[in-house]
Structure 1
Amino acid sequence: MVENVIIMGAAGRDFHNFNVYFRDNKRYNVIAFTATQIPNIENRSYPPNLAGSLYPDGIPIHPETDLVFLIKKYKVDLVSFSYSDILHSEVMHKGSMVNAAGADFVMIAAPYTMLKSSKKVISVSAVRTGCGKSQVSREVYRILTKMGKKAIIVRHPMPYGDLERNAVQRFSSFADFDTYNCTIEEREEFEPVVEMGAVIYAGIDYEKILREAEKEADIIIWDGGNNDTPFFHPDLNIVLFDPHRPGHEISYHPGETNMLMADIAVINKVDSADPENIRAVQNTIETRNPNAVILHADSVITAQDPGRIRDKRVLVVEDGPTLTHGGMRFGAGIIAAQRFGAAVIVDPAPWLLGTFKELFKTYPDIGPLLPAAGYSKQQISDMEQIINKVDCDLVILGTTSDLTRIISINKPAIRIRYEYMDHGVPTLEMEISRHMNQW
């Protein structure tokens, strides 16, 4: 008997779950995707060329607010929850809503959706977004390169543009960002990798992406998104923890799953975290996953000519997702402003306009800083106007991408960078070497 299905997602895990679990499976009839978290990803279709022969017209994508209506209208049997970085309690609130509407509520187990590679895979995941996955992925790349290995990084999907055109994306130069019409969030992840001379893949169809990456690589590095589980079966699973948010490792989905699957648990940002919070996170790991090797790491913040910050009235622009659904109240930019002696951190609230007014209504606890949200041309334009209107002496760009490549800023600006550094032993290189010796 064919079951009618809706996949709840946010333009990433949902498409992957469809591709590897539901596509070409005649047991299921996928009625629709729903979308949330990210603006402008609903009211379009998953295209026929990606959806497969069972869906010649593609699959519609609706806002998550339509979910109950869709369940009842199409007599849906099954709703598959397929996105990340959400409180356990919120997941079950949604499950209760689905059950009350008459459908089963499921979360597909991570191993069912992990593709097997012909090459060794090192995955880098986290218990929350904003833990520092990408800086660790870059450090893993450096370590493997030092060992003489050819490594290719594959990034979790961020399919905000033309889904069919972006099924397989390969980035090796800055021109590629324009080719694929990348959003600011995509540039945040891709630019630092390309700057270090590496190749990074992303897209939508991760079976095809994996097979292309295997042609170039000795080892695949999976760079996860949010706190999602890996799309590839890892031979070594590295999971990041954030002591600025103790307790989140057991209260967010699917971050707790990542914790329980970790081979190496990296407690990052110990250079800026409260020692009691570090101990609390370490105790949780030791209790819940005693087989994991625990490493401590610093997220080292640097600035060109940091003396320019001292005594200045600064506007801080931070990584967008970390501040929005990531729930952080600060990032590297705020830490740099405080560490290097800014006189005042200027609140952008009086100058908000357009899409950013709605963003701050959705996330009212963002605080006195500006998220680098740029999911559309309009949002990028709004951000540029806000930055240029704010009454400040200096703009601190706490983003991994260089926003000055995308927008024009009418006042002095300084970029903040942050990179991985071991905090004691064992080091990340020691642990990677130890695991590789066992392969």
Structure 2
Amino acid sequence: MKRKKVLIMGAAGRDFHNFNTVFRGNPEYEVVAFTATQIPNIDGRTYPAELCGELYPQGIPIHDEAAMPQLIREHGVEEVVFAYTDVPYQYVMNRCALVNSLGADFRLLGYDKTRLRSTRPVISICAVRTGCGKSQTTRYICEIFKRMARRVVAVRHPMPYGNLYAQRVQRFAEIRDLESHQCTIEEMEEYEPHIAAGNVIYAGVDYEAILRCAEKDPAGEPDVIVWDGGNNDFPFFDSDLKVVVIDPLRPGHETGYYAGEINLCMADVIVINKMDSAAPRDAETVKANCSRLAPRAVIIEADSTLSVAGDISGKSVLVVEDGPTLTHGEMKIGAASVAAHRFGAARIVDPRPSAVGSIAATYQKYPEVGEGILPAMGYGEEQIRDLEATINAVDADLVLSGTPIDLARIVRANKPIIRVSYELSPRGNGAEALERVIVENLFR
């Protein structure tokens, strides 16, 4: 039987999951290559034979996405699977047009074909864009379970930027686990807050294996599994309750970006976060879209409550924010920049003139990054050192860090680093409504 030749477009996340759930071990298909984009230095690798199964004894090469037309021609690719997220619809259809012009079909795999079923109740927390506040919502919901005396284990959307076989299944329960797994800043930003809150969190590459390990966690089998989504991707697990976070600071994005609108349409609960920073007109736009696309969803409005671990009044500050939120997330501000204005900083110092190496390249690639903000890019040791050098070259009284991690643990700064924390604060009876819908859907 002739196998259909397939290429999977990805960014070290859903691409591998789609392969594992649909193509691995399937004799009808031959996946000839992955392509990679969005994340620095994730091409030039091989999806290892140990993860590919017996049909791929040499593994599968991972190329830069720019090589896709050549790969289609060379291999006679018949089908291209688009498998990454947080991109505008126009972007997706531009890729579709290119693929179709080269004679291949263009495919988007859906929830039913790629979801994995658990033996435990599952709640998923996803979003319509990166930077909406998924992590703080996940932390808030985990605290609800703790108050109920329910044991929870979280599973995070993949971020495998290193040795793929070594990262097949990862478990994080202590800060030292971040070092032993050689995590990037971007990975630490997702895992460290869970560890600090006393949660166990899993991640990796092979989510069937990860799910089974989470169900039998050595610290105790969980009463519930929390899917902690990434970017604006939809869940990898069959979810008994789907919570989706919306950002009114980017009105209209909930209907304009793949795959966020999928999450919105599937939502059981919608959390409209950052209401304390949103313009009333923008909040109303978001509410109207939520009511139209998810009319049965419970809508909860919430503030993102900021706190600053030190006095910044009258100081000149270097603002550091979460990298992906500023880059492909397209946010112009973050928690630290809001805090700088709210808590009386005298001046925000522009880091662009001091940017070096890969940080300078990031500004060139993403010129829309908000003025006076330094994205905490750290996809490898070299980029972390460039971040450190940039921080130390900026003439400011202190660093105001809005990243979820303890930045002082990662870089040696020549000025104090003051952290900004942000927590979800539901408005009105939102807390009670959220707890009620969790009990009704997961524990009855």
For the aligned pair, the TM-score class normalised by the smaller chain equals over 0.9
Q: Residue in 2 aligned with 1:223?
A: 228
Q: Given the alignment of the two structures, is residue 129 of structure 1 paired with residue 130 of structure 2, yes or no?
A: yes
Which amino acid in structure 1 is aligned with residue 56 of structure 2? Answer: Y
Identify which of 279, 284, 287 aligns with 2:289.
284
CA contact (8 A) 1:122 1:219 kept: yes
What's 1:313 paired with? 316
Cα distance in 2 for residues equivalent to 1:111 and 1:268: 28
Match of 2:362 among 346, 359, 363: 359
Which residue is equivalent to 2:384? Answer: 380
Matches of 2:336 and 2:111 in 1, distance apart? 34
TM-score for both structures, normalised by structure 2: 0.97
Deviation at 1:299, TM superposition (A): 1.0
Letter in 1 for 2:333: F
CA distance, structure 2, for counterparts of residue 429 and residue 406 of structure 1: 36
* Aligned partner of residue 276 in structure 2, secondary structure: coil
Aligned-partner SS, 2:99: helix
For residue 168 of structure 1, report the CA deviation from its aligned partner: 0.2
Taking the aligned partners of 1:109 and 1:153, their CA distance within structure 2 comes to 23
In structure 2, the residue matched to 1:201 is 202
Shift of 1:357: 1.5
2:69 is aligned with 1:68: yes
Report the identity percentage.
52
Residue 344 of structure 1 deviates from its aligned partner by 1.1
Q: Secondary structure at the match of 2:301?
A: strand
Corresponding position of 2:336: 333
Partner of 2:350: 347
Question: How far apart are 1:311 and its partner, in Å?
Answer: 1.4
SS in 2 for 1:222: strand
Q: Residue by residue, what CA displacement relative to the aligned partner does 1:212-268 show, whole Å, maximum 9, x if unpaired? A: 111121100000000000000000000000000000000000000000000001100
Residue in structure 1 matched with residue 238 of structure 2 by the alignment: 233
Give a deviation string over 1:291-313, Cα, whole Å, max 9, x none: 111100111111123xx211111
Q: Partners of 2:430 and 2:398 in 1: how far apart?
A: 40
Question: Partners in 2 of 1:435 and 1:50 — Cα distance?
Answer: 35
CA distance in 2, matches of 1:255, 1:131: 11
Contact 2:126 2:234 in 1 (8 A): yes
User: 2:433 aligned with 1:433, yes or no?
Assistant: no
2 CA distance for matches of 1:430 and 1:269?
A: 22
Equivalent-residue separation in structure 1 for 2:436 and 2:332 (angstroms): 33
2:149 corresponds to: 148
**Match of 2:250, SS?**
coil
User: Could you say what secondary structure the match of 1:221 adopts?
Assistant: strand
Matched position secondary structure for 1:435: helix
Counterpart of 1:28 in structure 2: which amino acid?
Y
CA separation in 2, counterparts of 1:358 and 1:102? 35
Aligned residue in 1 for 2:405: 401
- For residue 108 of structure 1, what is the aligned residue in structure 2? 109
Amino acid at match of 1:193: H
Give, in whole Å, the separation in 2 of the partners of 1:433 and 1:119: 14
- SS across alignment from 1:271: helix
Structure 1 residue 426: Cα displacement: 3.3
Deviation (angstroms), 1:109: 1.0
Residues 358-388 of structure 1, C-alpha deviation per residue, up to 9 Å, x if partnerless? 1111100112210000001000000000000
TM-aligned CA deviation for residue 79 of structure 1: 0.2
The corresponding residue for 1:78 is: 79
Counterpart CA distance in 2 for 1:426 and 1:74 is 54
SS in structure 1 at match of 2:430:
coil
In structure 1, the partner of 2:59 is 58
TM-score (norm 1): 0.98
Contact kept? 2:407, 2:417, Cα under 8 Å = no
Runs of 4+ in 1 over 4 A off after TM superposition: none
| Secondary structure of the corresponding residue to residue 435 of structure 2 | helix
* Structure 2: distance between partners of 1:42 and 1:383: 22
Gaps of 5+ in 2: none
CA distance in 2, matches of 1:112, 1:142: 32
Q: Which residue of 2 aligns with 1:2?
A: 3
Alpha-carbon distance in 2 for matches of 1:101, 1:311: 59
Shift of 1:272: 1.1
Counterpart Cα distance in 1 of 2:251 and 2:15: 28
Q: CA deviation at 1:433?
A: 2.5
Structure 1, unaligned stretches of length 5 or more? none
Match of 2:426 among 410, 414, 422: 422
1:304 aligned to 2:305?
A: no
1:226 aligned counterpart, secondary structure: coil
Correspondence 1:272 to 2:277: yes
Whole-angstrom distance in 1 between the partners of 2:304 and 2:435? 16
- Give the drift of 1:87: 0.2
- 1:247 maps onto 2:252 in alignment: yes
CA shift for structure 1 position 34: 0.2
Deviation at 1:269, TM superposition (A): 0.6
- 1:254 and 1:196 map into 2 onto residues whose CA distance is 29
Shift of 1:436: 3.4
Cα deviation 1:146-171 (Å, max 9, x = unaligned): 11111100000000011000100000
> Deviations for 1:160-190, whole angstroms, at most 9, x for unmatched residues?
0110001000000011001100000010011
RMSD: 0.9
